[in-house]
Structure 1
Amino acid sequence: MGFKNGDVPNVDFATFGQQPTLMRYRQLATHWVEYGFGTAKQTHMLYVIKMVFYVAVGASIASLSSGLGAPWHVDAWWTELIFYQKLIAWTIFFEILGVGASSGPLAFRFSPMIGGFLYWLRPGTIRVPPWPNNVPFTRGDNRSLFDVIVYVLILINLIFILALPGVNRTDAPADSVGLVDTTLLYPLIAFLVIMGLRDKVVFLASRPEQYIPALLFFAFFSYTDIIVSLKLLIVVVWVGAGVSKFGRHFANVVPPMLSNAPVVISKRFKRSLYRDFPNDLRPSHVGSLIAHIGGTFVEIVVPIVLLLSTNLTVVAIGIFIMIGFHLVITSTFPLAVPLEWNLLFTFAAWFLFWGFPAGAGYAVTDLSSIWLTIGVFAGLLFFPVLGNLRPDLVSFLPSMRQYAGNWASTTWAFAPGVERRMNEGIKSSANQVDQLAALYGLEVAEVFMQMAMGWRTLHSQGRALVSLMINTLDDIDRYSLREGEFVCATLTGWQFGDGHLHDERAVAAVQRRCNFAPGELIVAFTESQPIHRNRVNYRVIDAALGIIETGSYLVKDATEAQPWLPDGPIPFDVTYSRPKTVVETD
């Protein structure tokens, strides 16, 4: 790929859409192996500039507002907890505005390049309450003025935390410049919880699994307990993500991720990640080894060593490895582009484990009581354990299953003309195909939209989702199939790989606004795999009829299939099936 020009698929754009669906997916998946999305490198530079802005502005605010001087005076802040507190607040602010993850062209946002506050400051846009039937005052899917006010209060609260100097604490070191005033933290936690009950999209956009525990530590713990608990938090995030990579899914994640990395330019290396390019695009031993040694092993073993070791040489090596780990992820510009989070963790590894070493009074055994130790561990492990046992109850984010490939996913199938009608009915922002068509024309836009489906078929869920569509639709070639994450982006203003944000509740919200007929909009949904089962649950939703089929499939059947399903759909164990309604879609 060049700096200004990308590597587009070598297809006839005018006739590409007339080919059978699975033939198209084979061409696009094969193209992905060598080029990824083929994005021009000038697009990646937009993100590099954004990362520089995030670091420079965040460090400046954290340092100057704390009375620590300019941010390049590292000796002034590198052991000041308030600096870390303000970086956390800055990152929450950055993310909840919508300018962090899930923004820009690499998240398929073109015009505008962000969702976030452009949606969440507007009454009437779609919100997704997590438990509308169980939590009073949360029913409905329209954003109200109350929701907007709560969102604005969160932003104002964060601005106060960032702008005001620290206050003295008797439990802090004598030479400390103070910590963030706890009276600013209590309302922020409350506002985030209220928002979470009203709209889980905005809540998850703030990355609560990473930052709400930190806010609770800042608000209620003593100085030493804060530091040690922050170490436990980051270790649980790392180890939880590592544990979630056990199984068959993760090996299917790394090859297409590296194929898309702008720093990886060797086609020979990219092909080596797959068994027999272009005939067999399942992960090779090379791809699996990189995934489970460079990913699973590193994320589990190194953090535990960092947490327990008092040997500074060992700690330095561990920090170096974890910083490299996050920088490698950042360099791949993964889908949803969670770059700022990775940058924060590169800093946190150094700040927490080198600035406050275990041998200097910041070990796990230095927590103030055994009950606090038990409570912190129990609190941090609750959602990861529950989410791995019952993924239907917990988003993959608080389950600490980032990048594992084991996440809920959807594919949306639109009958002819229906996608445009949804665009007109929702009126939040133009869908991606229209955004792309305005830039490159409809034929090119359609190929790039289907490129996302080609990417999805390189993962285990994609083969299941397309199989479900083959079984459900009267003629799959007559429908426009869309990656659910991109649909979610235009519906709610944010997406991050969590299919629970675009499941039957989102479909129902669309149906209330568009009133589709049976067969016009079909959504296939596949859940995450529980850690103790080898099967994955699925359901198929007709916007007009609701859930029309449920069942499960073996993970192995999905991971062993080729992306283009040459042997036909994978087998399913159907537990419920509504009698089919065939609708002509000409």
Structure 2
Amino acid sequence: MGFLQPNLPQLDLESWRRGTRNERMRPLVAHLCEVGFGTPDVVYLFYVVKIGLYLLGAMAFAVATAGVDGLFSVGDWWSEPIVFQKLVLWTMLFEVLGLGCGFGPLNLRFLPPLGSFLYWLRPGTIRLPPSPALVPGTGGRMQGTVRGPVDVVLYAALLGTLLVALLADGTRSSGDLPGAAGLLPVWLVALPLVLLGVIGLRDKTVFLAARSEVYAAIAVTFLFSGVDMVVGAKLVMLVIWWGAAVSKLNGHFPFVVQAMMSNSPVWRWRRLKHRFHRSFPDDLRPSGLSRALAHGGTAVELSVPLVLVVSSGGWVTAVAATVMIAFHLNIISSIPMGVPLEWNVFMILAILVLFVDKAAYGVGDLSGEGVLVLAVPIGSAVLVVLGNLYPERISFLPGMRYYAGNWDTTVWCFTPSGLDKFDAGTVKAAMLPHQQLERIYGEAEAEVPLFTGYAFRAMHTHGRAHFALVPRACGESHDDDYLVLDGELVAGVVLGWNFGDGHLHDERLVAALQERCGFEPGELRVIVLDAQPIHRPTQSYRLVDAATGELERGTVLVADMVVRQPWDTDLPITVTPAPQVEC
């Protein structure tokens, strides 16, 4: 990889373009497996600088507190309870501004590198209410998907209240916790949480973008006294780790590790990268090494956090903390797609504050009233259970199915006329990624990065299903008639944010766009693939025409996907018969 120029595969473009979509994808899968996306090093440096600015912001808000002095005298104040409170609220603000997950070129955001606050402060854009039939004010015109003044004011108020809290002093005693700066007043913590909850009833995109399952859950524990707050936050952290680990007990996760390590900017030796695949370049399923890393990481995430919770200091806590810090550093160094970098930095800082500095506090130290704080981790755990049993109903974020490879996904297939209607009928945060790539590389060269995106999906198990279902959704001439786009990328430009959640680009977004664009039958076909429930061997799919509705539904067997190559098209599909209507 060059510092400024990407490392793209060398192809005979004229002959390459004569192949089918899957044939054209095959050399790009091989390139991904030994080079990755070929991202210029300057892009990785850009993300490292962004992490530095995130940390600098956290430090600045910390020293804005009375009793916390010296920007670079971190050793004097890093363990103050109010500093941890502000770290959580600052990270929530960072994420809900669109500066964290889903930011920048590694998420195919170039011009500009984010949408988020630029989009959510703009009336007339699309919002997705979670339950229009149940929540007043979210139905009606265009199914209540038009962002209005109320939504803009609520979002602006959330940003404002978070900023006020970050600049406030501690006016509440920290109780039994050591610390000279006190704690934030309860109302300054409660107000942004209430606003976030109200926003979530009107627009689930903003609620998810705030990473509410992490930062809002921990912030709820700040409503309690000092020791109760610490114990509650520790247990929320435990649920986050365990939820993520349990969701990785599947056949998908080794494919995620294989793809992540292949794309890692740290491991650059091609011979080493070949070892992540069974037999490069002919058998590109995960090797024993990829599977060992996947299952070993899952075992660490299940066991070591429990040691952190039950230990009370000393060498046991130190070893466990070191292991978990290394766990998150490994993720950061891989610069994974979706770039949840600051989230991993936050987890490392939380380990140091909660489990190292405050190792002595455990469940036995809860006060009588503090027992109520247990409702927070219990509620989070219930969402994890429901999210794994009913992934089609619970977002992968509150379900904590992080990087498990088992996500709800969609594929959007546009005809040229359908794409023109999409461009004309929507207010977008940016151009579609392939259009941005055309600006950067030129129209002819942009095809290679576009197909590299196909190849990246095909390396995951759900990609096998995607490209087996495209012919069923679009017909025999799908290679010529349709532009195939990842639904996550479509959602990113018309919702202002995306981070791998198929719930943001399923039939509800299709319906919202149909009302705006008026697609004719066949102009937009969408493949909706639900995640695999933890107790079932299959994934359900639906084929949808934006104008006429559902065309077909059925299932694919995960065991069939994991034994196939990324370019295989012979995946068995079971079609669910349409219900018989009695006359």
> TM > 0.5 between the two?
yes
Give the conservation status (yes or no) of the 8 Å contact 1:488–1:501.
yes
Q: Is 1:181 matched with 2:182? A: no
Task: State the one-letter code of the partner of 1:80.
Answer: E
CA drift at 1:452: 1.0
Which residue of 2 is the match for residue 386 of structure 1? 386
Give the conservation status (yes or no) of the 8 Å contact 1:409–1:499.
yes
Q: Is 1:300 matched with 2:293? A: no
CA distance in 2, matches of 1:76, 1:467: 58
Give the conservation status (yes or no) of the 8 Å contact 1:21–1:476.
no
> Does the residue aligned with 2:308 lie in a helix, a strand or coil?
helix
1:311–1:503 CA distance, 2 compared to 1 (3 A): same
Which residue of 1 is the match for residue 367 of structure 2? 368
> Does the residue aligned with 2:525 lie in a helix, a strand or coil?
strand
Which residue of 2 is the match for residue 335 of structure 1? 337
CA drift at 1:422: 1.2
What runs of 5+ residues in structure 1 fail to find an aligned partner? Answer: 580-586
> Does the residue aligned with 2:23 lie in a helix, a strand or coil?
helix
Q: Is 1:148 matched with 2:152? A: yes
Q: Deviations over 1:248-277 (max 9, x none)?
A: 010110011111111110111111111111
> Does the residue aligned with 1:209 lie in a helix, a strand or coil?
coil
Which residue of 1 is the match for residue 320 of structure 2? 318
> Does the residue aligned with 2:190 lie in a helix, a strand or coil?
helix
> Does the residue aligned with 1:462 lie in a helix, a strand or coil?
helix
Which has the higher mean CA deviation after the structures are superposed, 338-347 or 69-78? 69-78
Which residue of 2 is the match for residue 583 of structure 1? none
CA distance in 2, matches of 1:574, 1:268: 42
1:12–1:395 CA distance, 2 compared to 1 (3 A): same
Q: Is 1:491 matched with 2:494? A: yes
Give 1:23-172 correspondences, 5 Å limit: 23-139=23-139, 140-169=144-173, 171-172=175-176
Q: Deviations over 1:321-376 (max 9, x none)?
A: 1111111111111111111111111111111111101xx3x112222249537534
CA drift at 1:310: 2.7
Which has the higher mean CA deviation after the structures are superposed, 544-553 or 123-132? 544-553
CA distance in 1, matches of 2:245, 2:394: 18
Which residue of 1 is the match for residue 434 of structure 2? 433
The one of 356, 359, 362 aligned to 2:358: 356
Give the conservation status (yes or no) of the 8 Å contact 1:450–1:481.
no
CA distance in 1, matches of 2:450, 2:203: 28
CA drift at 1:311: 4.7
The one of 190, 195, 210 aligned to 1:191: 195
Which residue of 2 is the match for residue 516 of structure 1? 519
CA distance in 1, matches of 2:177, 2:229: 13
Which residue of 1 is the match for residue 575 of structure 2? 574
Which residue of 1 is the match for residue 448 of structure 2? 447
Q: Is 1:535 matched with 2:538? A: yes
Which residue of 2 is the match for residue 346 of structure 1? 348
CA distance in 1, matches of 2:579, 2:520: 16
The one of 255, 258, 276 aligned to 1:255: 258
CA drift at 1:482: 1.1
Q: Is 1:419 matched with 2:422? A: no
CA distance in 2, matches of 1:226, 1:56: 25
CA drift at 1:193: 0.6
Q: Deviations over 1:67-106 (max 9, x none)?
A: 3112332332232110011011111111111111111110
Which has the higher mean CA deviation after the structures are superposed, 284-293 or 445-454? 445-454
Task: State the one-letter code of the partner of 1:210.
Answer: V
CA distance in 2, matches of 1:62, 1:168: 16
Which has the higher mean CA deviation after the structures are superposed, 493-502 or 425-434? 425-434
Give the conservation status (yes or no) of the 8 Å contact 2:284–2:565.
yes
1:535–1:100 CA distance, 2 compared to 1 (3 A): same
> Does the residue aligned with 1:411 lie in a helix, a strand or coil?
strand
Give the conservation status (yes or no) of the 8 Å contact 2:221–2:373.
no
Q: Is 1:277 matched with 2:280? A: yes
CA drift at 1:25: 1.5
1:4–1:577 CA distance, 2 compared to 1 (3 A): farther
> Does the residue aligned with 1:551 lie in a helix, a strand or coil?
strand
Task: State the one-letter code of the partner of 2:293.
Answer: I
CA distance in 1, matches of 2:281, 2:174: 65
Task: State the one-letter code of the partner of 1:102.
Answer: G
CA drift at 1:14: 5.3
Which residue of 1 is the match for residue 468 of structure 2? 467
Which has the higher mean CA deviation after the structures are superposed, 2-11 or 63-72? 63-72
Q: Deviations over 1:221-271 (max 9, x none)?
A: 121110011111111101110111101010110011111111110111111
CA distance in 2, matches of 1:483, 1:269: 30
Give the conservation status (yes or no) of the 8 Å contact 2:413–2:485.
yes
CA distance in 2, matches of 1:17, 1:421: 26
Give the conservation status (yes or no) of the 8 Å contact 2:218–2:233.
yes
Which residue of 2 is the match for residue 548 of structure 1? 551
CA distance in 1, matches of 2:98, 2:61: 19
Give the conservation status (yes or no) of the 8 Å contact 1:548–1:577.
no
CA drift at 1:536: 1.1
CA drift at 1:444: 1.6
Count of residues in Structure 1 that have an aligned counterpart in Structure 2: 572
CA distance in 2, matches of 1:11, 1:418: 30
> Does the residue aligned with 1:443 lie in a helix, a strand or coil?
coil
> Does the residue aligned with 1:541 lie in a helix, a strand or coil?
strand
Task: State the one-letter code of the partner of 1:153.
Answer: A
Give the conservation status (yes or no) of the 8 Å contact 1:154–1:188.
yes
1:438–1:457 CA distance, 2 compared to 1 (3 A): same
Give the conservation status (yes or no) of the 8 Å contact 2:3–2:41.
yes
CA drift at 1:447: 1.9
CA distance in 1, matches of 2:574, 2:516: 33
CA distance in 2, matches of 1:111, 1:289: 39
Q: TM-score, normalised by structure 1?
A: 0.95
1:403–1:170 CA distance, 2 compared to 1 (3 A): closer
1:196–1:528 CA distance, 2 compared to 1 (3 A): same
CA distance in 2, matches of 1:75, 1:223: 21
CA distance in 1, matches of 2:402, 2:382: 16
1:14–1:158 CA distance, 2 compared to 1 (3 A): farther
Q: Deviations over 1:12-45 (max 9, x none)?
A: 3456444211101212111110111110000111
Identity of aligned residues (%): 42
Q: Deviations over 1:195-232 (max 9, x none)?
A: 1111111110000000111121112x121110011111
CA distance in 2, matches of 1:63, 1:523: 50
1:332–1:66 CA distance, 2 compared to 1 (3 A): farther
Task: State the one-letter code of the partner of 1:433.
Answer: H
Q: TM-score, normalised by structure 2?
A: 0.95
Q: Deviations over 1:487-519 (max 9, x none)?
A: 111111111111111001111111111111111
Which residue of 1 is the match for residue 229 of structure 2? 226
> Does the residue aligned with 1:114 lie in a helix, a strand or coil?
coil
Q: Deviations over 1:366-418 (max 9, x none)?
A: 22249537534422211001111111111011111111111111111112343
Task: State the one-letter code of the partner of 1:437.
Answer: E
CA distance in 2, matches of 1:46, 1:538: 38
Which residue of 2 is the match for residue 205 of structure 1? 209
> Does the residue aligned with 1:282 lie in a helix, a strand or coil?
strand
The ranges of structure 1 where at least 4 consecutive aligned residues each deviate by more than 6 angstroms after the TM superposition are none
Give the conservation status (yes or no) of the 8 Å contact 1:228–1:367.
yes
CA distance in 1, matches of 2:442, 2:10: 17
Which residue of 2 is the match for residue 584 of structure 1? none
